[in-house]
Amino acid sequence: MTTDPTNPIALTAEQLDTFHRDGVLALPSRFSPDEVAGLVAALDELMADDVPENIREKTSGVVRSSFDLHRRHPLYARLVNDPRFVIPAHQILGDDPVYAMQVKVNAKEAFTGEQWQWHYDFATHHREDGLKEPIALNMHIFLDEVTEFNGPLMFVRGSHLDGPPPTELDTTTTSYPLWTVGPSVVGPLAERGGLVCPKGPAGTMLIFGDAVVHGSPPNMSPWSRRIFSLIVNPVSNRQTTFRRPAYIHDRDFTPLVARDEPLLASV
């Protein structure tokens, strides 16, 4: 799919160049305050549930990640087919059908939110889910303002260009097992490409690739940081092993289709 300068949702040629060069792209003001408020209200209900889909932090016990949101609330079911996700995904990945591989919110509670170690998503997707190629896309919405204080994501610019680096499984640092990248790898990559730390108001959208090294520090601030994450993956690259629960990697490979109705039309 090519760029369309008349379509305000489509990525521009410059934005596509930035994504392919850096591995990450920030898009401010993609979702309105009303849309964000609706998503947050639904999230508050879902995070109050005592269910396995809500992963809790190791020390504080608050919800760190809330999974399978599109199976648990109709607003998130509509969100995964939002054209603001589907159209850019096809611009980057081509016309092959894509499915919602993972739908979650990663939250960092004020004062207690734990870190995410340096990692790249494909390490887990390949080892745990059997994905063959590092082509899945992580598509985020900031549900809170993200600043330098409340545990923002940091990316190693261009770290995807040399292919996936070596990783080690970390099962002790946090409550969520993660294939991590060590300092001896991150250091040279960061010296070469530098770090990118996207910040912005609620409603900002991020897109980043499956092989981009990233992480985030603890949230020591008085302000919470919640980020919605939709991972889309081509159906042709779907999982081949089924080690993780379906709520972490969805086993419904039905292609996403950009819907016409506004996100809040039925709310």
Cα-based distances in Å from 12 to 53, 74, 104, 164, 199: 36, 31, 27, 27, 21
Q: Which long-range contacts (CB under 8 A, 24 or more apart) does 29-33 make?
A: 29/201, 29/203, 29/204, 30/84, 30/141, 30/203, 30/204, 30/205, 31/84, 31/141, 31/202, 31/203, 31/205, 31/263, 32/203, 33/202, 33/203
The backbone torsions φ and ψ at residue 45, rounded to the nearest 5 degrees and listed phi first, read: -65, -45
Domain ranges for the chain, please list them: 25-198+205-237
Has residue 267 got a pLDDT over 60?
no
Instruction: Look at residue 58 in the predicted model and tell me its pLDDT.
Output: 82
Listed in sequence order, the residues at least 6 apart from 241 whose beta carbon sits closer than 8 Å to its beta carbon are: 128, 129, 130
pLDDT tens digits, 25-83? 999 999 999 999 999 999 999 999 999 999 998 888 899 999 999 999 999 999 999 99
Cα–Cα distance, 61 to 59 (Å, whole number) = 6
CATH number given to 25-198+205-237 = 2.60.120.620
pLDDT at 174: 74
- In percent, the amount of the chain with pLDDT more than 90 equals 88
pLDDT at 179: 92
pLDDT single digits (tens) 161-175: 998 999 998 888 777
Smallest CA-to-CA distance from 177 within 71, 47, 64, 100 is with 64
pTM for the structure as a whole: 0.94
What confidence tier does 3 reach under pLDDT thresholds 50, 70, 90?
A: low
Is the pLDDT reported for residue 1 higher than 50?
no
* Residue 94: per-residue pLDDT: 96
Q: How many CB atoms lie within 10 A of CB 172?
A: 8
Write down the pLDDT at residue 60: 86
What tens digit of pLDDT does each residue of 98-151 get? 999 999 999 999 999 999 999 999 999 999 999 999 999 999 999 999 999 999
